[in-house]
């Protein structure tokens, strides 16, 4: 945690230092893009600031020349992979020109001239470059998908998403291919329950027990299913293996308790050796309180019944055909009810006991009602195990 905090602090400090740099300092350090955009930001507030116009002019020229030289080199190199960089570079040139044009013209009064920016029409080159890049990425994605392995499918997915996002949203059958790549690249996990106890359970109870929503645990390249789909290969099965299902007898425990308390019961006068009533300093008779012991007999009855479910959460790798993890899980459904009756001085009892005197004997819940309660407790425990063990099934 300390390392993470340190990195965050260093990153924040870097942002602060960087934001404090002037456009001229950025230009001198070779950060041409940052110098250009910071100068543009300043000029949007005041177009007459010559120092920013001069920095913008020089930074723009250097970036523009660098990009044009890079395109020329990539075209001479002629590798298939270069088509993507050529298209992205033309996109940068187009974007840069669109951002600077609202500021033009800019005048440098001290030199008596207008700032010079090389604005050219790159639309035809950009359109062709996007077509070439999209075709290359599509063919490369097709090759990767034919490998039929997860990592290749994920690389193909990246290619296809880039086509849709950066070049052509409706290129060929792009959406279908993105879905195909996603499905091939995603680890799919089937969650199910197995009743290995030998105790027959109603189908609805089993359905309720495994009614766990796992969609919030889904991540990119990781998907949990609670209903099997025959169109998918499941990389892993997560199985709740129920091994013990037990319901205790209906128990009624009776307990009788005698509650005693000393309570005030009048008073006597304090007498001196001569038998006279003693006086205090104010001249009043001195009284001595008398106490007596009062009793209340309390009969308490506790009704209790417990359902217990116990098993394991097992991870099975369907590719290697191996059990790769097993984790114990258990939960109880508890019914507990108390009621009381009393004979004697009831007002000496505490509030809890007096409260139970308002209760009475109630029917015991059925076995399945208690098992359902245990199941409600078990489900979040199972989900927590799955959430904490994502590393077993991810990637």
Q: What is the pLDDT along the chain (395 residues), one digit of tens a residue?
A: 455 455 544 444 444 444 568 989 998 888 989 999 999 999 999 989 999 999 999 999 999 999 999 999 999 999 999 999 999 999 999 999 999 999 999 999 999 999 999 999 999 999 999 999 999 999 999 999 999 889 999 999 999 999 999 999 999 999 999 999 999 999 999 999 888 888 887 777 777 877 888 888 898 899 999 889 888 889 999 999 999 999 999 999 888 888 888 888 788 888 888 878 788 888 888 888 888 888 888 888 899 999 999 999 999 999 899 999 999 999 999 999 888 888 777 777 877 787 777 777 789 999 989 998 998 999 999 999 999 998 898 76
Domains in the chain, number? 2
* Residue at 145 is within a domain: yes
Beta bridge partners of 287: 269
* Residue at 60 is within a domain: yes
Own/partner long-range contacts of 276-280 (Cβ < 8 Å, ≥24 apart): none
Question: Which pLDDT score, from 0 to 100, does residue 15 have?
Answer: 44
Q: Do 49 and 163 reside in the same domain of the chain? A: yes
Q: Do 40 and 175 reside in the same domain of the chain? A: yes
- Under a CB-based contact definition with an 8 Å cutoff, are residues 319 and 291 in contact? no
Q: Do 302 and 386 reside in the same domain of the chain? A: yes
Q: Do 265 and 379 reside in the same domain of the chain? A: yes
* Residue at 255 is within a domain: yes
Q: Do 257 and 165 reside in the same domain of the chain? A: no
Sequence-separated (6 or more) residues with CB below 8 Å from residue 146: none
Domain boundary among 129, 151, 184: 184
* Residue at 101 is within a domain: yes
- Under a CB-based contact definition with an 8 Å cutoff, are residues 223 and 186 in contact? yes
Domain boundary among 184, 202, 228: 184
Q: Do 35 and 151 reside in the same domain of the chain? A: yes
Helix or strand run (H / E) with residue 313: strand 287-317
Question: DSSP assignment of 254-268, as one string?
Answer: EEEEEEEEEEEEEEE
Q: Do 156 and 255 reside in the same domain of the chain? A: no
Q: Do 148 and 279 reside in the same domain of the chain? A: no
* Residue at 47 is within a domain: yes
Domain that holds residue 381: 247-393
Question: Which pLDDT score, from 0 to 100, does residue 395 have?
Answer: 64
Q: Do 38 and 129 reside in the same domain of the chain? A: yes
Question: Which pLDDT score, from 0 to 100, does residue 331 have?
Answer: 95
Nearest Cα to 244, choosing from 318, 306, 181, 321?
306
Question: Which pLDDT score, from 0 to 100, does residue 272 have?
Answer: 80
Q: Do 153 and 274 reside in the same domain of the chain? A: no
**pTM for the whole structure:** 0.70
* Residue at 358 is within a domain: yes
Reading the block at residue 234, the tokens are: 């499941």
Sequence-separated (6 or more) residues with CB below 8 Å from residue 63: 32, 33, 36, 96
Domain boundary among 184, 199, 214: 184
* Residue at 78 is within a domain: yes
Q: Do 155 and 278 reside in the same domain of the chain? A: no
Question: Which pLDDT score, from 0 to 100, does residue 117 have?
Answer: 92
Nearest Cα to 191, choosing from 126, 235, 145?
235
Nearest Cα to 251, choosing from 303, 190, 207, 291?
303
Q: Do 26 and 174 reside in the same domain of the chain? A: yes
Question: Which pLDDT score, from 0 to 100, does residue 339 have?
Answer: 83
Nearest Cα to 262, choosing from 289, 300, 288?
289
């Amino acid at each position: 945690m300390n390392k993470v905090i340190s990195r965050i602090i260093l990153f924040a400090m870097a942002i602060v230092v960087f934001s404090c740099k002037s456009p001229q300092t950025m230009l001198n350090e070779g950060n041409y893009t940052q110098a250009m955009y910071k100068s543009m930001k300043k000029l949007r507030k005041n177009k007459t600031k010559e120092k920013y116009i001069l920095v913008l002019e020089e930074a723009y020229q250097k970036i523009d020349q660098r990009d044009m030289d890079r395109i020329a080199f990539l075209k001479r190199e002629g590798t298939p992979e270069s088509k993507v960089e050529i298209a992205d570079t033309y996109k940068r040139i187009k974007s840069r020109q669109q951002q600077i044009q609202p500021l033009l013209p800019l005048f440098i009064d001290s030199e008596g001239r207008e700032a010079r920016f090389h604005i050219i029409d790159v639309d035809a080159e950009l359109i062709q470059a996007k077509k070439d890049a999209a075709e290359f990425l599509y063919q490369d994605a097709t090759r990767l998908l034919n490998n039929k392995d997860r990592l290749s499918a994920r690389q193909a997915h990246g290619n296809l998403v880039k086509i849709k996002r950066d070049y052509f949203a409706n290129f060929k059958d792009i959406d279908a291919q993105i879905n195909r790549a996603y499905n091939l690249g995603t680890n799919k996990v089937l969650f199910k329950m197995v009743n290995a106890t030998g105790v027959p359970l109603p189908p609805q109870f089993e359905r309720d027990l495994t009614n766990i929503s796992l969609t919030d645990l889904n991540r990119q390249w990781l998907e949990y299913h609670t209903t099997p789909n025959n169109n998918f290969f499941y990389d892993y099965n997560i199985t709740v293996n129920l091994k013990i299902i037990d319901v205790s007898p209906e128990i009624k425990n009776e307990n009788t308790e005698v509650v005693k308390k000393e309570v005030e019961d009048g008073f006597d006068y304090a007498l001196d050796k001569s038998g006279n009533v003693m006086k205090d300093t104010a001249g009043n008779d001195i009284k001595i309180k008398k106490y007596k012991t009062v009793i209340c007999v309390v009969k308490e009855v506790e009704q209790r019944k417990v359902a217990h479910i116990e098993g394991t959460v097992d991870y099975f790798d369907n590719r290697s055909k191996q059990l790769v993890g097993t984790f114990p899980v258990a939960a109880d459904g508890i019914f507990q009810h108390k009621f009381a009756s009393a004979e004697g001085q009831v007002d000496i009892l505490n509030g809890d006991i007096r409260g139970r005197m308002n209760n009475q004997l109630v029917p015991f819940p059925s076995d399945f009602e208690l098992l359902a309660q245990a199941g409600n407790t078990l489900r979040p425990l199972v989900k927590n195990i799955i959430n904490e063990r994502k590393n077993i099934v991810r990637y």
